[in-house]
Structure 1
Amino acid sequence: MSHHDEPYFPSSQPCLSYWQRTTRHWSRLTSGANESVPQTADVVIIGSGLSGALVAYELLYNPSPPSNVVMLEAREVCSGATARHAGHCRPDAYRGYSAYSAKHGSEQAIKILRHEKRVLQLMKTFIETHGIDCDFNYSKTVDVIMSQHFLEYVKRSYSDFDAAGGDLSDVTWLESEEAQKITRVSGALGAVEWTAATLHSVKLCQGILDMAMDLGLAIFANTTAQSVTMVRDGLWNVESSRGTITTPTVVHATNAYASSLLPFLGSIIQPLRAQAHAVIPTQAFTGQSLLTQTYSIRYSLVDFYSVAQRPRDGLIILGGANEEIQRDRLNWPDDCSVNKSIASNAIERLRSALSEWKEEAEGEGLQYGWTGILGMTPDSVPLIGAVPSLPVGHTLRLIQ
């Protein structure tokens, strides 16, 4: 079994993201943590991030809902990838066309990019319809081009997507001088702008879970699902750290941790560690001078930094990827610590890119960072649907 095929469970004491630090007052954060799970349930959902939360809500909001839906979470509620990102709700506008078309063909590549845009609109409608206070900010985003090599790649992707009939109606090309003026990024060789959003994903997830719990969802935090065993055709035992639940339906909403309970996914869902940071801006980026767009400051496909300044409090969420981060991702099971070298490099690149960023006063600059585990697939699209049937009595995974 290779390194990435080895199943693993969420760390017991992960570091805290900005999103978690600002929502620890939520009354249901550790719901059910001191209770035994029920012996039976109509549905068991493993994982309490956005995927699990939306499944629970949609099931219970249905005119004929299940009578007993249980959610198991190994740590605090909403503490995985949903709680550890860099603040963006950012559909791909064009750039992914080259990679997607090479793997899936032109028609499917266009459908994938169209679907990403649709997800943003569906999320916007859902948040507005239900009045969820999650700092949702519908705005513009830009790919800021910082190298000649990447400029050539972007032009090819843009041109190929256009020639294939892709929708560029929401996409604006900015030449170098205009790009530097609009983005305030010195050295920009060009930029591409389209519509995206920022949001507080934990507040969104908690809002959805609040609605689902009001409809009857039972959440058990700090409760690790240890194995899923078919006891007879159509019936499963979900063994957890707080007891065993028998159920006809199990929903795996575990993202990068999926292979812990479904080991055959070990070679399909690859866990990767990412890192983000909270940065207090200098005076040039405060008040009326906040950044009005979100950025991906890109030197290449694998060397970039995401920048999202929050309108509500002015905080900058800084993420990114480069060769050092790629090497650091070999430590993928660990979201308990932060790589200080990556943090230092990220803030230096931010200072370099934003020419108005001056010497920091005490309290300004990098405050803290956090890590999270992403689930990546070989074809860059998610796995959604039924898990293939297994022989009666076959145990998928037992905790060691």
Structure 2
Amino acid sequence: MLITTMAGPFPVKNATVPYWRTQLHHLDSHRSTPELPEKQDIVIIGAGFAGAALAHYLLKDSPESEPKPSITILEAREACSGATGRNGGHIRPDLFVALAARMQAQGLETANQVALFEAANAEAVVALVRDEGIDCDLRAVTTGDVFVDAAEAAKIKKLWDAMTKLNCPTLRSVTYHGPSDAERVSGIAGAKVAFTYPAHVVWPYKLVMHLLEGAVGKGVNLQTKTTVHGVSETVDGEGYWTLATARGATRAKRVVFATNAYTAGLLPEYDDAIYAARGTVCRVVPDAPATNIPLGSAGLEMESPNSIDSYYGLRQDGSIIVGGGKSAFVDDKEEWYRNYDDSTLIESTAPYFDCWAARTFTGWKGFETETESIWTGIMGYSADSAPHTGHVPFKPGQYICAGFDGHGMPNVLLCAKGLAEIIKDGRPFSETGVPAVYETSAARLRKISELVAAPTIGRAQADIYLKF
């Protein structure tokens, strides 16, 4: 039986340490059994938000009288050590700016479906945290999208005016602030236009580890520090897929790829569709309590309608989680494009963040801040700006939940819930509530590859470079 492997996208060792991973859970490097199980009903590859949420929903509401499926989660490094454990700690459903971009690219109906789905995800996370009693510092905030360039502000204002005349349900939650009050409302120096709406900040690692702890408590076998090097091209005589690891092989009736940026390492057919973008996040600590920051989080937009340069979230201890800084490194494409190395920093971001707060907030000139910690993360970008969820084409029993485009927190939970229904109940994708544009398919992969292979003008539509 042939097992295919690729040399490229796999997690590296000795990753930089994010602030979120400074208080480690007791399951961080857990192995439920000394050896890998010989065979399982379901193997999930990846112990981030997607993998943990999948396990949670696969076992949720299972009748005690019915046998539970045997489930193993394989994680290359420690639990929640990938993109989820390295993000900015936001749950920011994009209710207008990305809505406008998607409407231009894919039409109003699809744009509305995605925006409403992101809003529903945020509500679902809040409900999950409440119902499960999860201690993860979840806090409601007012967030914003802020434009400081006059020309870009004028463009987005035209889009706003046009879209307020259309049927865009999520715009009801968004407030527009023009040149006369954008700076005051946002606290961002030089703000020309701002759009504010409800959001949350969260400690993502604590959220994921709670879900993993619950899953392990229900019998899920968690195996950390176990990189999957390849998956067999066909099932064996008993109908099992074989997964190869450095610790030996394990077999599964069903395999779920919750592998985000690393998907193409095991599913080469996704090489054009999902690929890495390296980014930076840091924790900035002011020498005095943060003042004159009206918004609990915000994204500073470089271009309209959808290109964030930097973003921040306030923590209750007075520190600020800041991410992005794309303008400092975007021209050096090798630093970030298809770069899987989160063991080193993007060098130009450290000085960028050292002065970020003083440059960004009104009344902060001369204010001292310390970049207390800084880390790198690998985002799984999608060539057509939508996650891939559902059946892996032509591989019955294989499923995917990946490619969250640097925007997983307001998307992952309900994608995982929908995929769990497909796996557990055989539910059609169309009945899961997940937007149709998120469904992975051979036709979608083929279309992406055709765009990538096309001349430069065609390729640009699928090129991550345009996201910056």
TM-score scaled by structure 2? 0.77
Report the residue type matching 1:304 in the other structure: D
Q: Is the counterpart of residue 240 in structure 1 residue 240 in structure 2?
A: no
Number of the residue aligned with 1:337? 344
Checking the alignment, whether the CA contact within 8 Å between 2:97 and 2:145 is kept in structure 1 is no
Checking the alignment, whether the CA contact within 8 Å between 2:146 and 2:301 is kept in structure 1 is yes
Aligned residues: 381
Cα distance in 2 for partners of 1:166, 1:222 equals 45
Checking the alignment, whether the CA contact within 8 Å between 2:38 and 2:251 is kept in structure 1 is yes
How far apart are residue 290 of structure 1 and its match? 6.2
- Seen in structure 2, the aligned counterparts of structure 1 residues 374 and 52 have a Cα distance that, compared at 3 Å, is same
Q: Is the counterpart of residue 278 in structure 1 residue 283 in structure 2?
A: yes
- Seen in structure 2, the aligned counterparts of structure 1 residues 264 and 65 have a Cα distance that, compared at 3 Å, is farther
The one of 109, 112, 136 equivalent to 2:111 is 109
For residue 9 of structure 1, give the secondary structure of its aligned residue in structure 2. Answer: coil
Cα distance in 2 for partners of 1:65, 1:91 equals 37
How far apart are residue 93 of structure 1 and its match? 1.1
The one of 120, 125, 128 equivalent to 2:130 is 128
Cα distance in 2 for partners of 1:213, 1:391 equals 27
Checking the alignment, whether the CA contact within 8 Å between 2:293 and 2:361 is kept in structure 1 is no
Deviates more, 1:325-334 or 1:205-214: 325-334
How far apart are residue 29 of structure 1 and its match? 0.8
For residue 329 of structure 2, give the secondary structure of its aligned residue in structure 1. Answer: helix
Checking the alignment, whether the CA contact within 8 Å between 1:147 and 1:189 is kept in structure 2 is yes
The one of 240, 252, 265 equivalent to 2:270 is 265
Q: Is the counterpart of residue 319 in structure 1 residue 323 in structure 2?
A: yes
Checking the alignment, whether the CA contact within 8 Å between 1:49 and 1:82 is kept in structure 2 is yes
Checking the alignment, whether the CA contact within 8 Å between 1:7 and 1:266 is kept in structure 2 is no
Deviations 1:247-302 (A, max 9, x none): 1010100000001110110011021101111100242516xx66552111223244
Checking the alignment, whether the CA contact within 8 Å between 2:329 and 2:348 is kept in structure 1 is no
Number of the residue aligned with 1:396? none
Number of the residue aligned with 1:98? 100
Number of the residue aligned with 2:150? 148
Number of the residue aligned with 1:138? 140
Number of the residue aligned with 2:175? 172
Checking the alignment, whether the CA contact within 8 Å between 2:273 and 2:384 is kept in structure 1 is no
Checking the alignment, whether the CA contact within 8 Å between 1:98 and 1:160 is kept in structure 2 is no
- Seen in structure 2, the aligned counterparts of structure 1 residues 182 and 391 have a Cα distance that, compared at 3 Å, is closer
For residue 283 of structure 1, give the secondary structure of its aligned residue in structure 2. Answer: coil
Cα distance in 2 for partners of 1:282, 1:65 equals 56
Deviations 1:127-152 (A, max 9, x none): 11111010001121011220112212
Checking the alignment, whether the CA contact within 8 Å between 1:97 and 1:157 is kept in structure 2 is no
Cα distance in 1 for partners of 2:148, 2:396 equals 54
How far apart are residue 390 of structure 1 and its match? 4.3
For residue 58 of structure 1, give the secondary structure of its aligned residue in structure 2. Answer: helix
The one of 292, 308, 311 equivalent to 1:306 is 311
Cα distance in 2 for partners of 1:55, 1:19 equals 22
Cα distance in 2 for partners of 1:224, 1:91 equals 32
For residue 121 of structure 2, give the secondary structure of its aligned residue in structure 1. Answer: helix
- Structure 1 unaligned residues grouped into runs of 5+: 393-400
Number of the residue aligned with 2:375? 370
For residue 202 of structure 1, give the secondary structure of its aligned residue in structure 2. Answer: helix
The one of 380, 384, 392 equivalent to 1:379 is 384
Q: How many percent of aligned residue pairs carry the same amino acid? A: 29
Cα distance in 2 for partners of 1:6, 1:67 equals 33
How far apart are residue 170 of structure 1 and its match? 0.8
How far apart are residue 241 of structure 1 and its match? 1.8
Checking the alignment, whether the CA contact within 8 Å between 1:133 and 1:204 is kept in structure 2 is yes
Number of the residue aligned with 1:397? none
- Seen in structure 2, the aligned counterparts of structure 1 residues 330 and 33 have a Cα distance that, compared at 3 Å, is farther
Number of the residue aligned with 2:49? 50
Checking the alignment, whether the CA contact within 8 Å between 1:333 and 1:373 is kept in structure 2 is yes
Number of the residue aligned with 2:190? 187
Deviations 1:134-175 (A, max 9, x none): 000112101122011221232133233323310221111112
How far apart are residue 360 of structure 1 and its match? 5.0
Report the residue type matching 1:273 in the other structure: R
Number of the residue aligned with 2:16? 15
Deviations 1:192-218 (A, max 9, x none): 100111000000000111111111111
How far apart are residue 46 of structure 1 and its match? 0.3
Report the residue type matching 1:373 in the other structure: I
The one of 138, 160, 163 equivalent to 2:162 is 160
How far apart are residue 188 of structure 1 and its match? 1.2
Cα distance in 2 for partners of 1:303, 1:231 equals 44
Number of the residue aligned with 1:208? 211
Checking the alignment, whether the CA contact within 8 Å between 1:103 and 1:379 is kept in structure 2 is no
Cα distance in 2 for partners of 1:232, 1:160 equals 56
TM-score scaled by structure 1? 0.89
For residue 53 of structure 2, give the secondary structure of its aligned residue in structure 1. Answer: helix
Checking the alignment, whether the CA contact within 8 Å between 1:282 and 1:358 is kept in structure 2 is no
Checking the alignment, whether the CA contact within 8 Å between 1:33 and 1:222 is kept in structure 2 is no
Cα distance in 2 for partners of 1:260, 1:368 equals 30
Supply the RMSD in Å over aligned alpha carbons: 2.2
